[in-house]
Chains A and B, each alone.
Chain A
């Protein structure tokens, strides 16, 4: 890690600083939106949106290189396709709930297929691996600003509508009885997820988006009693994973995205095992001393 810290101080290695700053900034959006995605159980929708992004990237690359539309960058293509996928899934989910999973599956695979077809038809050699697995080290100063701006949007909407999102995620039917426009907030949530996925694709690539969106939140869930607490913990956990992942990948010359994901998955696994062991020890101790169990039950008002 000392090599990594030295490299961060090196003015010739600005890309590493940008990568770290972008990762830390993006952690804020990942923590907030990841929490909503996990508690609303829509990680499969986030997966569909992320895979659809390849379609947008492919079409944009084709328009840029084959048709000469210079303004049509892959970033713009990714942004538009993520939002479009979110809107389609949201509208289908509201209007025809029984077909939601079919549409998600179709968007998931069709988006990728469109992307690969257009990339194949684009003049010159383009490696889809960069988009599939991302490369945080290719982040530029402009990307850092873009991530900061999107952070502001996500933080503002996520906090301003916190109570409404909480109600929609916890008990949609009751929220409707309180005059909450559930469909509007659901689509807004999906669009914000799309924006976050768009950010994540730049950092860890299409394939690994779901892991970084859900693993820090799953870890935070072990230590949280409130949704806001889960968000703050997830942001902190995500920042730690990105910093450590960058450091390890730089020191050991490993690809950064997969290093971050493996690190997050390993920590999650350790915490799951530790919590199982602790609950097993507790239940064993309670069965040995039933008086404790009775006292606990009384304290809990059972």
Chain B
């Protein structure tokens, strides 16, 4: 891992009206580094991700990604939201959804064969290539989440931002997703918002605890007492062990 910073926050503040979400946040994330973001609801985790990908503009301070403003390098950032609001009657297939990740600054026209190839590769990477022609609305929660991550990967990003990707999926699917993330972390920086503390040491080098401001920890620092300080109340740590399906050698 190089120590070349890809994301830098300097005294960043963000407010919705009079409600201050992030207060004087400074942080730096290096190239190839994978970071887990934890913290209580309303603490500013999603806001932090949205500032990094240029969806929100900070009300104070400066943010640079690859040394430029986030909207100038959005093509190098993949983003998967926690959920998307979509019309269940919307006629769109998985393939078309993933191809959206290939949209760029060009004005119009159809997708190129390179775009289609990249979409297939990312579907393959997430293990959902067999769902390519299915309607997006017909997928289960876990399948949808994997398709949305495939959509973020189709632009071949250098940074992958994931907002609670395991919030609506069961432990087995989550375990498979973590396997994939571990593989991806070898070739890109990953920032993932999660409340699942049990996995942080396996994938991530650092933990950012976000509650209006940011405190940095190594993955070994995370303890019951530390979490209680971050979340403002006692937190029960639960270690998940995925249930093994008999005959499933990978999970056994």
Is B84 located at the chain interface by the 8 A CB criterion?
yes
Whether the pair A164, B91 counts as a contact (CB closer than 8 A) is no
The CA of A160 and the CA of B106, in the complex, are separated in Å by: 11
The CA of A301 and the CA of B134, in the complex, are separated in Å by: 11
The CA of A167 and the CA of B106, in the complex, are separated in Å by: 14
> Given A175-B100, A177-B54, A179-B71, do A163 and B108 touch, yes or no (CB 8 Å)?
yes
Whether the pair B108, A173 counts as a contact (CB closer than 8 A) is no
Min CB distance, A125 to chain B, in Å? 46
* A170, A174, A226, A227: residue with the most chain B Cβ atoms closer than 10 Å: A174
Is A87 located at the chain interface by the 8 A CB criterion?
no
Is B248 located at the chain interface by the 8 A CB criterion?
no
Contact flags (1/0) for A222-249 with B, using CB distance below 8 Å?
Answer: 0011110110000000000000000000
Whether the pair A166, B74 counts as a contact (CB closer than 8 A) is no
The CA of A160 and the CA of B71, in the complex, are separated in Å by: 24
The CA of A178 and the CA of B79, in the complex, are separated in Å by: 9
Whether the pair B79, A177 counts as a contact (CB closer than 8 A) is yes
Min CB distance, A188 to chain B, in Å? 11
Min CB distance, B140 to chain A, in Å? 5
> Given A174-B84, A178-B155, A179-B105, do A227 and B77 touch, yes or no (CB 8 Å)?
no
Min CB distance, B184 to chain A, in Å? 18
Is A176 located at the chain interface by the 8 A CB criterion?
yes
> Given A174-B100, A177-B53, do A160 and B109 touch, yes or no (CB 8 Å)?
yes
The CA of A171 and the CA of B87, in the complex, are separated in Å by: 10
Whether the pair A164, B108 counts as a contact (CB closer than 8 A) is yes
Q: What residue in chain B is nearest A164 (Cβ atoms)?
A: B108
> Given A174-B84, A225-B91, do A160 and B108 touch, yes or no (CB 8 Å)?
yes
| The one of A160, A177, A226, A301 that contacts B91, using a Cβ cutoff of 8 Å | A226
Q: B103 contacts which chain A residues (CB < 8 A)?
A: 163-164, 167, 175, 178-180
> Given A301-B130, A302-B140, do A225 and B74 touch, yes or no (CB 8 Å)?
no
Whether the pair A226, B104 counts as a contact (CB closer than 8 A) is no
Which A residues contact B (CB, under 8 angstroms)?
A: 39, 41, 160-164, 166-167, 169-171, 173-180, 221, 224-227, 229-230, 300-302
